[in-house]
Chain A
Amino acid sequence: MPIEVKGLTHVYMPGTPFEARALNDVSLSIRDGEFIGIIGHTGSGKSTLIVHLNGLESSSPGVVFVNGVDLGLKETDLIAIRRTVGLVFQYPEYQLFEETVEKDVAFGPRNLGLSEDEIKARVADALRMVGLPQDVAGKSPFELSGGQKRRVAIAGVLAMQPSMLILDEPAAGLDPAGRREMLELIKGVHDTGVTVVMVSHSMDDVGRYCDRLYVLNRGEIAWYGTPAEVFIHEEQLHEIGLDVPECAKLARRLRKSGFDIPEGLYRTDDVCEAILRNLRKGSDATC
């Protein structure tokens, strides 16, 4: 389910004093099985971009192809697209509405007209994928903790068995342990073959999990590439309100101070080993 975006431009409230250009000539491509990170500060266009990826919004100029299908064409079946491109909004726990967790997760599959058996199986699968015990199925979602509610909301999207999952800030507001668990959960989904697009403010998180990054600034793609390729632009990223992982910062500072450290290091393991190589010449550097 590859996605191709070409020259996408989106203007909010055109022709009014509040006219705002949220996206300007954005092009990107997402291949099957990738784990993509989209970063940018508030108002950079991230959220506007992702609602285009499953046809919730459409704009011109610009085209969005999902699996080769142009979402802008009248005859395109957007409902079918939304089944395969699952979108998890920011703070999705606020979207829960049913009496029980089971009913909430089943809402999508039921609308697909699946059999009761199939719906049951999908709900069980989805709850397992998000790491919730099956006995929460009968509970009201409103009895659960914030982190559990968010898992229920994600389960509701997974129950549609999408081949691509787009998540807007999935770890926002969680405590550090909850954050790690949420990211591992998403990695687990990715490991089953689902393409993942994750919007995040955290360079540490995208650095750890993503294959490639797109950095948005004022509605345009400022940089893209592997995390190492993007983190090289530390100063410019800082200017647009973004940080690089602390280890990337450290590696750069050490290089300036005369350490022999290759460019593009940002993982703790790699930086740790590079430091040891510098300080213990001759001996084995393992970290």
Chain B
Amino acid sequence: MRDKIIQAQNVSFQYEDGAAPAVDDITFTVDRGEFLAVLGRNGSGKSTLAKLLNALLLPTAGELTVDGLRAVTEDDCYEVRKSCGMVFQNPDNQIVTTIVEEDCAFGLENLGTPPEEIRWRVKAALSDVGMSEYAEASPSMLSGGQKQRVAVAGVLAMRPKIIVFDESTAMLDPIGRRDIFAIAQRLNKEEGITVVWITHFMEEAALADRVIVMDAGKIALEGTPKQVFSQTDRVLALGLDVPGMMKLADRLRKAGLPLKEGVMTVNEMVVELCRLK
């Protein structure tokens, strides 16, 4: 059995003014090194879940362990946050200084890391996201995608084991989106960082190891992208979409073509159709 880096057992969270719990009695685990996508319509509890994972919120019920630390009391919350970094949706809301490298150093400075170490860690982090040449630039001159890369670097400098991306590509253009997704994939594959990728883009979720779909605070669907997206009607009823090629495959099958299950990408579709020709 693979090592479980996140274990959630009957976790709930209720906001003080909330009528129903935002996260409602959910149980799941995440493997170390996994790329997990979390889907769900607006208000389904995705962001609340993200904030629980790095102890920005503490569960109102249930047991949650993140990298061996209990994320249920304030005792360990700083340790949890070091272990589990977070990249938010709006790049403008997470930049605090006027120079890129200072922004990346912000977390480490607050931990009292020696200046020499801060310097090389920030340098390495900026190089990791391809922003070295902007180290001394002002964040205000950067594009949205570049600002998000700086935000990722700031998290990387903290050496987290897990990074939660909470719709980090929602406000970016296609290039910015591709960049940030590629960076997350590379950190996952090459550096073994566990990634929790919250998104509204089905094409991104299709490339994850596993998908969780939230609805009304609960886990509505869970499985590999193929298992989840093959339940087309269910996925649509949950306010989501299925990748375009799966929709097309569905229609071709209904028209009588013997397409194999699980065709999700243009490449797979071309191969499959050429086989049938």
Contacts and interface: CB of A to CB of B under 8 A. Distances in A.
Chain A partners chain B: yes
Interface of A: 18, 41-43, 145-147, 172-179, 201, 204, 241-243, 245-247, 249-250, 253-254, 257-259, 268, 271-272, 275-276, 278-280, 285-287
B241 interface: yes
B252 A247 contact: no
Interface stretch (B60-68, B100-108, B167-175): B167-175
Interface stretch (B28-36, B122-130, B140-148, B221-229): B140-148
Residue of B172, B241, B248 with most chain A CB atoms under a 10 A cut-off? B248
A237 B41 CA distance: 30
A44 to B, nearest CB: 9
B199 to A, nearest CB: 10
B256 to A, nearest CB: 7
Contacts of A249: 266
Given A175-B240, A177-B41, A276-B257, A42 B270 contact: no
Given A42-B145, A257-B274, A259-B273, A177 B240 contact: yes
Chain B, interface residues (CB within 8 Å), range? 35 or more
A175 B255 contact: no
A268 B251 contact: yes
B274 to A, nearest CB: 5
B252 A272 contact: yes
Contacts of B243: 246
18 contacts: A42-B145, A42-B172, A42-B175, A174-B200, A175-B41, A175-B239, A176-B239, A177-B241, A178-B42, A243-B174, A246-B244, A247-B244, A249-B266, A259-B277, A268-B248, A275-B252, A276-B252, A280-B257
Nearest to A173: B170
A204 B244 contact: yes
Interface string B246-261: 0110011001110000
Contact of A253 (B89, B170, B266): B266
B38 to A, nearest CB: 12
Nearest to A18: B141
A204 B174 CA distance: 12
A258 to B, nearest CB: 7
Nearest to A43: B143
Nearest to A178: B42
Contact of B277 (A42, A175, A258): A258
Contact of B270 (A176, A242, A257): A257
Given A241-B175, A250-B270, A253-B270, A176 B240 contact: yes
A222 B270 CA distance: 29
Closest 10 CB pairs of A and B: A241-B175, A177-B239, A176-B241, A246-B244, A41-B173, A175-B41, A42-B173, A42-B143, A173-B170, A253-B270
A179 B170 CA distance: 12
Given A42-B144, A241-B174, A258-B277, A276 B245 contact: no
A246 B174 CA distance: 14
